[in-house]
Amino acid sequence: MVNADENRATWQQVLRYIREHPDDEYWSRWRAIVSPILEHAVELEFDSLFRAGMSMSHVIFSTLDHHGLRDEPRVTLEVMKDWRIRISLTRDNVWFHAPTQFAVLDDSTAFQTFRRYLWHLWEDTVPEAIPERLRSR
């Protein structure tokens, strides 16, 4: 069962962690790409539906109630070397395994794909109907 308060707390922890990254050229650019996606998702209350976490520079989302994913479904958001975003839907850590489904996008087009991947994650892992806020445009 989804625990909205616990999920929100994980998103706030990730956002705090991202704000604490160094103010150097690399991390400032990385933060400028990732933060708007996460902040928009919070505005739409996706933070109540999914748990968020970090693995190095990857932001990972799941519907599970625990930290430390193993062979479990997740969406991973990562910034590539060319500053585009790869959004993956997989059961594996994308550091070590090629994702089963992914899209590489510019940051201006990433949010709708991110939403779609979260929708698929919900469909695959939660027996409840897809929440309206996840379906709406």
Tens digit of each residue's pLDDT (9 = 90 or more) over 67-117: 665 668 899 999 999 999 999 998 777 666 777 889 999 878 899 999 999
Which residue reads 């748990």 in tokens?
Answer: 51
Determine which of 3-12, 27-36, 67-76, 98-107 has the lowest per-residue pLDDT on average: 67-76
- pTM as predicted: 0.90
**What pLDDT is recorded for position 71?**
64
Q: For residue 33, what is the enclosing H or E element?
A: helix 25-43
For all residues of the chain together, what is the average pLDDT? 88
> What would the pLDDT profile of 121-134 be if each residue is shown by its tens digit?
999 999 999 999 88
Which amino acid is it at 47? D
- How far is residue 104 CA from its own chain's centroid? 14
DSSP bridge pairs for 74: 90
Sequence ranges of the domains in the chain: 4-126
pLDDT at residue 68, as a whole number = 60
Residue, of 47 and 22, whose pLDDT is higher: 47
